[in-house]
Amino acid sequence: DTAVSQTPKYLVTQMGNDKSIKCEQNLGHDTMYWYKQDSKKFLKIMFSYNNKELIINETVPNRFSPKSPDKAHLNLHINSLELGDSAVYFCASGGGNNEQYFGPGTRLTVT
Amino acid sequence: QQQVKQSPQSLIVQKGGISIINCAYENTAFDYFPWYQQFPGKGPALLIAIRPDVSEKKEGRFTISFNKSAKQFSLHIMDSQPGDSATYFCAAYKGGNQFYFGTGTSLTVIP
């Protein structure tokens, strides 16, 4: 069983569109994250949720909106996509011992 | 401001050699230091981690050396193998669900 899963794996869309990425974890963790990895492979945290509550909201444009329907799911909705949003987005979950488990990533390409 | 500084950016090592990646931090509140390994097209995976109450942790061919006074920690890969070729990230954590990642090191092990 995949511990942290994301869909879709690839997403190609045009500027101005709205898209969503879904994430699910079956590890029973209370904390989930969204990270953005740019073309230089730099990993930057975007959001962190603990038990469905937003804990961290880094300086991310408000076009990005996370939604956590329950503690096993953390979805990312992006409005009015821009070229600069092209990146790989990783979902992760974390347990009480500070370990993080990352999903396989969603490669978003905005044309 | 980069909270965790990682070097080198890239590293080429002969099979059987030792790979060494270094990280440095400033914030003494950090209390957990993980290393992640990322293969192309995959999410980062936790490799090994250390807390500042020990100076070294070894798991198989991977060792973390930790120097609290110098605020530095490093990853040593002994007997490096071509299968170790990946990007390695150090990170630091100080609570509040916030991980700070280094900029990554691309390791290539030549057969």
pLDDT-derived band at B108, boundaries 50, 70, 90: very high
The chain-wide mean pLDDT, for chain A, equals 92
CB contact under 8 A, B103 and A4: no
A49-94 pLDDT, tens digit per residue, is 888 888 877 778 999 999 999 989 999 999 999 999 999 999 999 9
Q: Who among A31, A44, A102 is closest to B43 (CB)?
A: A102
Q: Are A88 and A74 within 8 A, CB to CB?
A: no
- Over chain B, what is the mean pLDDT? 95
Contact A48 B98 (CB under 8 A): yes
The answer on pLDDT for A96 being more than 80 is: no
Band of residue B86 on the pLDDT scale cut at 50, 70, 90: very high
Band the pLDDT of A99: cuts 50, 70, 90: confident
- DSSP codes of every residue in A55-98: EEE-S--TTEEEEEEETTEEEEEE-S--GGG-EEEEEEEE-TTS
